[in-house]
Amino acid sequence: MKYFVIVSLVIYNSCLNGFAQKPDTLYFNREFLATHIYQDGIKLSGGKVTKIFSTTKQSKIKYKWSKVLKPIGPVVTFGGVGLAYVALKGIDATATIDGQQVDYKIRSLPKLLMGLGLVVGGLCMVESSNELAQHAVDIYNVKQKSTTKISHINKIQFGLTESNAVGFTISLK
């Protein structure tokens, strides 16, 4: 009898959890160059995310901008690193001072500053791309929570049926 009561309680609790409706939410995982979007623990492809976001205009726009900035940011960053390298490498030059030839390098401070500016700008584009994808997910989840209705259990009947089997009835609001 004790075994029957324990099994009945386990079945009862699992049935209650099964009827609780969960909103269809999305989750994001941020990495350096990308933000991956998941639904129910499954990573979504770009096409599936765009299809899901088609119901919410703001999310769709933010996600599209995120996809535009994602490849541009690293290119700008690497361009800035290259320009800074060229500026620091300099140009070989020779001057005659007091009758002696002196070798030196001409380094361009404006090129160096532009290269550093491009590095910072590219990193900002990468971060902005990640934030736009995150905000798109947040907006979508807020819209889904506001439109999703959850059923509440009104009445549960648990007992024996006419054929001496265990049964239960659940009525939802």
Using an 8 Å Cβ cutoff, are 35 and 29 in contact?
A: yes
Phi, psi of 96, rounded to the nearest 5 degrees: -105, 115
Using an 8 Å Cβ cutoff, are 44 and 51 in contact?
A: no
Nearest to residue 84, comparing CAs of 49, 123, 53, 119? 119
Nearest to residue 139, comparing CAs of 77, 72, 62? 62
Q: Give CA angle at 66 (57, 143), nearest 5°.
A: 30
Q: What is the pLDDT of residue 9?
A: 52
Q: Say if residue 104's pLDDT is above 50.
A: yes
Using an 8 Å Cβ cutoff, are 62 and 132 in contact?
A: yes
| CA–CA distance, 129 with 141 (Å, rounded to integer) | 19
**Tokens coding 74:** 């690293």
Q: Tell me the pLDDT band of 2, cut-offs 50, 70 and 90.
A: low
Higher pLDDT, 61 or 166: 61
pLDDT tens across 128-164, in order?
999 999 999 999 888 887 765 666 677 777 777 778 7
Q: What is the pLDDT of residue 19?
A: 39
Q: What is the pLDDT of residue 122?
A: 95
3-state DSSP call for residue 48? helix
pLDDT tens across 22-76, in order?
447 888 888 777 888 998 888 888 888 888 888 889 999 999 999 999 899 999 9
Q: Tell me the pLDDT band of 119, cut-offs 50, 70 and 90.
A: very high
Q: What's the pTM?
A: 0.65
> How far is CA 138 from each of CA 31, 53, 63, rounded to the nearest angstrom?
17, 11, 11
